[in-house]
Amino acid sequence: MPKPHGFQNIRPKIVILVASLAALASVIIRILLNLNLSFPLSAMIAVAVVTLSAFFSSAGLSDSIIEDIDVLRRKLDENYSEITTEKDKLETILKQMADGMIAVSGTGRIIHANDAARRMLRISDEDAVHRKYDGIILRFSDSLTLSEILRNLENGVTEGNFSYGGAVYEVRYDKFRDASGGEEGIIIILQDVTERQRIDNMQIDFVANVSHELKTPLTSIKGYTETLLEGGAEDAETAKEFLEIINSETDRMNRLVKDLLQLSRLDTKQQKWYKEESDIVALVRTAVKKIDMFAKSKRQHVNLIFDRDLSIMLNMDRDRIEQVALNILSNSIKYTQEGGRIDVDVFRKGDEVKIVVMDNGIGIPEKELSRVFERFFRVDRSRSSRSMGGTGLGLAISKQIIEEHKGSIDIESILGKGTMVVVALPLPRVRGKRGIL
């Protein structure tokens, strides 16, 4: 049977020893008193005898005491090591959490705030130690003070939210208790949901825009069809005009559905790519030829300012990159007044080839430049690409095509002065350079 730990094995021995020594002292005193010795002297002699007896008796217990103390020390060391390990694990988890976590005492003192929480609430380590929770949270929300949280918890509410500096945060909270079950404070979790909120809003806008874009041509088609059915077809000239409008609106819906399907394939990574080495300069020349009649219809001048004999080979999906080039060029023509100028350049720069299309058209307001790649976004409804035959999805598709080729597309513009679109695509790696064997 294993030896019990922690003094349990020596307690009976100590009790027996103490009782025996007390009995011995009593006997010695009685004997000495019977020998006519005074009580003080009898007591002193009894104490001396008992002390000597205790010394010799305890010698046999000392080894057991030392052994048990050593066992206790080892157990304490093991427990301390386990506690330290668990503490380190917890600190690592809290440190690496993307969500913010704050522990607040019942008095409003911040017990702990992890790195994410300090970053979200813009507080320093010193703030977390010396400032009260309410003094920090009131900068962001007056509905998440300690008193408000406690009131919400009493009513079964365990979450809230706030916005600050363009960011949106969801907040969850609950009470935590001490070892005895008493209420110790509040645990608060902060989650940055800005990106999720943005995507949700984009999805809502996307559905609304698709519905609107389809509703407009459908309404037009239905109206002209009903007119024809009600007798408009008797006038051949009117019937032809109406049918041309119906055909145009049908083409418009077909383009919209085609673009939506392509966006869906790009979003879900189902777009098939046929990449091979092709001459990007020749591709741009071909794209310019395809839109030449469109430019001439507005008496515009499209100028190729690059060397037409230049050849730059890229690994690309030729059809998709040509789609991007045509979209950029057609946008420049649409939003440049009659008689305007459009310059097209292609050149190498570092490890990239750049395609630059610059016009002197109506331009884009600076505050709206960041949104030009959003789906269906139009800067000015009065100059809407809808009335010019576009779907409002061209730039969104172009951006995804270019990014699939590991490139970038940027737009600079000055309202009333013109717009410049810059597409950058990576040049193929040359054998023997940048670590390529």
HEC readout, 3-67: CCCCCCCCHHHHHHHHHHHHHHHHHHHHHHHHCCCCHHHHHHHHHHHHHHHHHHHHHHHHHHHHH
Are 419 and 370 in contact by the 8 Å Cβ rule? The answer is no
Letter for the amino acid at 234? E
At residue 229, what are phi and psi to the nearest 5 degrees?
A: -65, -25
Contact (CB, 8 A) for 416 and 362: yes
Residue 224 sits at φ, ψ, to 5 deg, of -70, -35
Q: Are strands 408-414 and 418-426 parallel, antiparallel or unpaired?
A: antiparallel
Single out the residue of 99, 127, 82, 86 nearest to residue 187, CA to CA.
Answer: 99
Dihedral of alpha carbons 112, 117, 118, 122, sign: negative
3-state DSSP of the chain: CCCCCCCCCCHHHHHHHHHHHHHHHHHHHHHHHHCCCCHHHHHHHHHHHHHHHHHHHHHHHHHHHHHHHHHHHHHHHHHHHHHHHHHHHHHHHHHHCCCEEEEEECCCEEEEECHHHHHHCCCCHHHHHHCEHHHHHCCCCCCCCHHHHHHHHHCCCCEEEEEECCEEEEEEEEEEECCCCCEEEEEEEEEECHHHHHHHHHHHHHHHHHHHHHHHHHHHHHHHHHHHHCCHHHCHHHHHHHHHHHHHHHHHHHHHHHHHHHHHHHHCCCCCCCEEEEEHHHHHHHHHHHCHHHHHHCCCEEEECCCCCCCCEEEEEHHHHHHHHHHHHHHHHHCCCCCCEEEEEEEEECCEEEEEEEECCCCCCHHHHHHCCCCCCCCCHHHCCCCCCCCCCHHHHHHHHHHHCCCEEEEEEECCCEEEEEEEEECCCCCCCCCCC
For 97-192, the fitting CATH number among 3.40.50.300, 3.20.20.70, 3.40.50.261, 3.30.450.20 is: 3.30.450.20
- Per residue of the chain (437 residues), what is the pLDDT tens digit? 444 444 455 556 566 666 666 666 676 666 766 666 667 766 777 677 667 666 655 555 556 655 665 666 677 777 767 777 776 666 676 666 778 888 888 888 888 888 888 888 888 877 777 788 888 888 888 888 889 999 998 898 888 888 888 888 999 999 887 766 666 789 899 998 888 888 887 778 777 778 877 887 888 888 888 888 887 667 778 888 888 888 888 888 888 888 888 888 888 888 899 999 999 999 999 999 999 999 999 999 999 999 888 999 999 999 999 999 999 999 999 999 999 999 999 999 999 999 999 999 999 988 888 888 888 776 654 444 445 556 778 899 999 999 999 999 999 999 989 999 999 999 987 654 444 43
The pLDDT assigned to 351 comes to 93
- % the chain with pLDDT above 90: 28
B/e letters for 46-65, b = 16+ CB within 10 Å, e = fewer, are beeebeebeeeeeeeeeeee
Q: Which CATH architecture has domain 199-267?
A: Orthogonal Bundle (1.10)
According to the model, what pLDDT value does residue 436 have? Answer: 41
- Helix 39-96 vs helix 11-34: angle between axes, to the nearest 10 degrees? 170
Q: What is the pLDDT of residue 412?
A: 94
Q: Which residues contact 53 (CB under 8 A, 6 or more apart)?
A: 21, 24
Burial class for 14, CB neighbours closer than 10 Å (0-12, 13-18, 19+): middle
In contact, 32 and 42? CB cutoff 8 Å = yes
> What local confidence, expressed as pLDDT, does residue 25 receive?
66
Specify the pLDDT at position 300: 95
Query: Which residue pairs, CB below 8 angstroms and at least 24 apart, start in 140-148?
Result: 140/164, 144/171, 144/188, 146/104, 146/108, 146/186
| Res 322: pLDDT | 95
Distance CA 271, CA 275 (A): 12
Q: What pLDDT was estimated at residue 301?
A: 94
Domain ranges of the chain: 11-93, 97-192, 199-267, 275-426
| Confidence (pLDDT) at 128 | 75
CATH number of 275-426: 3.30.565.10
